Amino acid sequence: MLTYTIRRLILSVPTLLLIALVIFLLLELAPGDPMAQVPLTVPPEVKAQMRDALGLGEPMHVRFWKWLVQFFWIEPQVMIDRLFGTTLSEGKLRVISWQHRSPVMDDVLRRLPQTLWVVGTAYVVGVLIALPIGIYSAYRQYSVFDQAGTFITMVGYSIPPFFTGPLVIVIFSVQLGWFPFIYDTTHEVKDWDSFVVQLRQMVLPVMVLALQTTAQISRYMRAAMLDNLQQDYVRTARAKGLSEAVVVMVHVLRNSMIPVVTVIALGMPAIFGGAIITEQVFSINGIGAQLIGAIQANDLPTVQTITFLFAVLIVLANLLADILYGLLDPRIRYD
């Protein structure tokens, strides 16, 4: 397994390089001018100097190479320097935001905790709710619970976050007044009372994001369980006198988790996409809001960096799913 993991990590390098090239070319060829936000009163020669300072006068392949070097070499050095409290990388060229004139990764790392608070919690809650629902729905097929669960999950999966977000705000904030509808990104957790405040402001965005996660994973869990409950090994296990709990929760569940692991692993990067909309609805100052602001300002370095980070998450999620296959099914060997 270790050899396979190392081999996959090495093979991920050319994959990520190709993805980086595609992202860079698509954004470079997109219409728009970074100097469009500059006031009209600025003289043309000043605009030309600003364009040269941003590196827009260089050929496309030169700008792509510099972006790669900055992202893969200089930025990791800066992260290591911060981790160990050194200043070895100070003064080196970094990926600079055209909009804020500051390093992109500094903005990402400053906003990332806000996104992880909401996205991470929502995904864990969604998975923990979805798995029991899918298991029990399959075991009690066509029961009242199964019919109700099917209806609720289909509705939850069909309604987009930009609709459920304002809906829960109207119900739980405006009408009932239970939770705040504006997320305070400046809030710091220092004691138990501040932690409770953090939980209260997380309830609504977590509810919106967890709804689609629960709906999707529970349907896959139900389908996988139904497929395995009809297999011969289940009848053999029951004939040997094993309890129903052992048959379902050990034998059937373990085999059913193999396809569901793919959905769970690949859903982790995908939920960041849903968080982009949710952050706009609840005014969360996370990387989703940063991406939207960069797109509106035509800030290509920020858009390229955040988009590529999503691609890295997808590649790592695929690797994680393959590793979990081997842990769940002893018959799967990679070495």
Whether 14 is covered by a domain: the verdict is no
Helix-helix angle 104-139:192-229, to 10 degrees: 50
Q: Are residues 31 and 120 in the same domain?
A: no
pLDDT of residue 306: 82
CB 206 within 8 A of CB 151: no
Q: Are residues 297 and 258 in the same domain?
A: yes
Whether 162 is covered by a domain: the verdict is yes
What CATH number is attached to the domain comprising 274?
Answer: 1.10.3720.10
CB atoms near residue 87 (< 10 Å): 9
Choose one of 40, 67, 94: the last residue of a domain. Answer: 94
Whether 260 is covered by a domain: the verdict is yes
Report the domain count for the chain. 2
Whether 292 is covered by a domain: the verdict is yes
Q: Are residues 236 and 142 in the same domain?
A: yes
Q: Are residues 87 and 121 in the same domain?
A: no
Whether 105 is covered by a domain: the verdict is no
Task: Provide the whole-model pTM.
Answer: 0.73
Q: Are residues 262 and 318 in the same domain?
A: yes
* Separation CA 281–CA 168 (nearest Å): 11
Average pLDDT per 10 consecutive residues for the chain, totaling 335 residues: 73 82 78 63 69 66 76 60 51 62 75 79 86 87 85 80 81 82 74 80 83 84 85 83 82 81 77 72 77 77 81 80 70 59
Whether 250 is covered by a domain: the verdict is yes
Q: Are residues 173 and 50 in the same domain?
A: no
Q: Quick one: DSSP state of residue 103?
A: B
Whether 334 is covered by a domain: the verdict is no
Q: Are residues 176 and 232 in the same domain?
A: yes
Q: Are residues 28 and 165 in the same domain?
A: no
Domain that holds residue 264: 111-328
Choose one of 66, 94, 122: the last residue of a domain. Answer: 94
Q: Are residues 53 and 86 in the same domain?
A: yes
Q: Are residues 245 and 131 in the same domain?
A: yes
Q: Are residues 55 and 139 in the same domain?
A: no
